Amino acid sequence: MQVLSGKDVAMSVLEHVRKEAVIFGEKYGRMPSIAVILVGEDPASQTYVAAKKKSALELGYGHKDYHLSVHATQQELLELVRELNADDDVDGILVQMPLPPHMDENCVIDTIDPAKDVDGFHPVNAGKILLGRSSLVSCTPKGVLRIMDHYGIRTAGKDVVIIGRSSIVGKPMAALLMQKGRDATVTVCHSCTLGLKEHVRRADIIIAAVGHPHMITADMVKSEAVVIDVGITRVTDLTKKKGWRLVGDVDYDNVAPRTSAITPVPGGVGPMTIAMLMENTLQAAQERKREQKGE
Ligand code: NDP
C-alpha cells in the first residue's frame, strides 16, 4: 500500500510555480498577484485566508487583503469585486466562502471576471471544464488529479466512484475524469443514492468528498482500490493541545491495508488545494498578459 502524500506533491508544485513566477516577473516587471476577500469573522475562513496569504507571500506574489465586516452589504462586496476586476495589477480574485447568509454567493461568483477567477467557480470556467476546454480549474479536483498523475495512477477505463456532488468538488471532479484523456467511467453518489455501499465496492478508484468522518469503512472498499479522501472535519480531541484534530471521510486505519494507494488526512488533498490556487494565479497572470500583448 502506497501513501499518496499531497504534502510532497504540493511542495514540488510550489517549487515549479516559484520558478515560473520569477520568469513572469522578469518578463513583465511585476510578480503575479492575488486579491483575497474575507467577509465576517468565521474562524475556519480566517485560517484558510491566512494560509493562502502565507503561501502567496512565500512565492513573492503581490497580495491584497480585504476584510469586510459581517454587516457589509452585498452591494459593497460587489463594488469591491468590480474594482478588482478593473485593476490591471490584480491577476486573481478569491472571495472566501461561505459568505454571511444575507449575501448571494452565486451573484458574487458571477461578478468575478472569469479570467481572474482563480477558484474556478465562475459558470464560464465550470462550463469549460464540462466541455473539456482549457480553463481555470477549481483547486481541489485539480489537486486530486495532480496527486494521481504524480504517483502514476491511471484512470483510463477505471470505475471511479465519487461520493459528493458539490459544485466545488464532486461535480468538477466528475467532469474532469470523464473527459477524453482521463477516460474514467464515473459514478457520482450523494445523499439520495440508494445502495451506496454497493456502488463504492465496485470502484477501482474511490473519491470521498462528503464531510462525514470515517463514513467509508473497510467493508465498502474493493481489495487494491485507490482511495482519495477529500473530506476534512474538525473533531474534538482533548489529547491535542488545540483540543481538536482533522479527520477525513475514510476510516483510514482499517481501510488503508486493503488499498493499493490512499491519501492521508491531514497531508493528503488539503495541501494540494492551496498549491493549485497558487498555480491558478500564475496561470491567470500569464494568460492575461498574453491576451493583452496579443501573444
Ligand atoms: P458539501 O457539503 O457542499 O457537499 C457534500 C456532499 O456530500 C453533497 O453532495 C451531499 O449530498 C453528499 N452527502 C452528504 N451525506 C451523504 C451521505 N450520507 N451519503 C452520500 N453522500 C452524502 O461539501 P464540499 O463538497 O464543500 O466538501 C466536502 C468535504 O470536503 C468537506 O469535508 C470539506 O471540508 C472537504 N473539502 C476539502 C478540501 C480540501 O482542500 N481538502 C476543499 C474543499 C472541501 P447532497 O448533494 O445530496 O446534499
Domains for the chain: give ranges and CATH numbers: 27-113 (3.40.50.10860), 139-269 (3.40.50.720)
Task: Examine the residue annotation and report whether 74 is marked as an active-site residue of this protein.
Answer: no
Residue 290 burial class via C-beta count within 10 angstroms: exposed 0-12, middle 13-18, buried 19 and up: exposed
Do 204 and 214 meet the contact criterion of CB atoms below 8 Å apart?
no
For ligand 1, what atom is nearest to the CA of residue 143?
A: 40
d(CA 220, CA 228): 14
Residue nearest ligand 1's atom 36 by CA: 231
Residue 59 clears pLDDT 80, i.e. is over it: yes
pLDDT tens profile 25-45: 999 999 999 999 999 999 889
Residue 177 clears pLDDT 90, i.e. is over it: yes
pLDDT tens profile 183-231: 999 999 999 999 999 999 999 999 999 999 999 999 999 999 999 999 9
Residue 179 clears pLDDT 90, i.e. is over it: yes
| H-helix segments, 133-245 | 139-150, 170-178, 196-201
d(CA 122, CA 126): 6
Residue 178 clears pLDDT 90, i.e. is over it: yes
Residue 62 clears pLDDT 80, i.e. is over it: yes
* Average pLDDT score over the chain: 97
Residue nearest ligand 1's atom 19 by CA: 191
Distance 164 CA to ligand 1 centre (A): 5
Is 231 touching ligand 1 by the criterion CB < 6 Å?
A: yes
d(CA 35, CA 123): 20
Binding residues: 164-166, 232
Grid cell for residue 22:
520569477
Distance 97 CA to ligand 1 centre (A): 14
State whether ipTM is beyond 0.85.
yes
- What stretch of H or E contains 3? strand 2-3
| Mutate-to-test residue for ligand 1 from 52, 105, 190, highest number of ligand atoms within 8 A of CB | 190
Residue 112 clears pLDDT 90, i.e. is over it: yes
Do 241 and 206 meet the contact criterion of CB atoms below 8 Å apart?
no
Catalytic residue (choose from 91, 96, 116, 128): 96
| H-helix segments, the chain | 6-28, 43-58, 74-86, 105-111, 123-131, 139-150, 170-178, 196-201, 252-255, 269-293
Residue 295 clears pLDDT 80, i.e. is over it: no
For ligand 1, what atom is nearest to the CA of residue 274?
A: 40
Q: What is the pLDDT of residue 188?
A: 98
Return the bridge partners of 234, or none. 246
For ligand 1, what atom is nearest to the CA of residue 215?
A: 18
Nearest to 143 by CA among 115, 176, 166, 114: 176
Q: What is the pLDDT of residue 140?
A: 98
Average pLDDT of span 109-122: 98
Distance 112 CA to ligand 1 centre (A): 24
Q: What is the pLDDT of residue 37?
A: 98
Q: What is the pLDDT of residue 294?
A: 86
DSSP of 40-70, one letter per residue?
A: S--HHHHHHHHHHHHHHHHTT-EEEEEEE-T
Is 189 touching ligand 1 by the criterion CB < 6 Å?
A: yes
Q: Express as a percent the part of the chain with pLDDT over 70.
A: 100
pLDDT tens profile 242-293: 999 999 999 999 999 999 999 999 999 999 999 999 999 999 999 999 999 8
Q: What is the pLDDT of residue 249?
A: 98
Do 118 and 37 meet the contact criterion of CB atoms below 8 Å apart?
no
Distance 168 CA to ligand 1 centre (A): 9
Is 282 touching ligand 1 by the criterion CB < 6 Å?
A: no
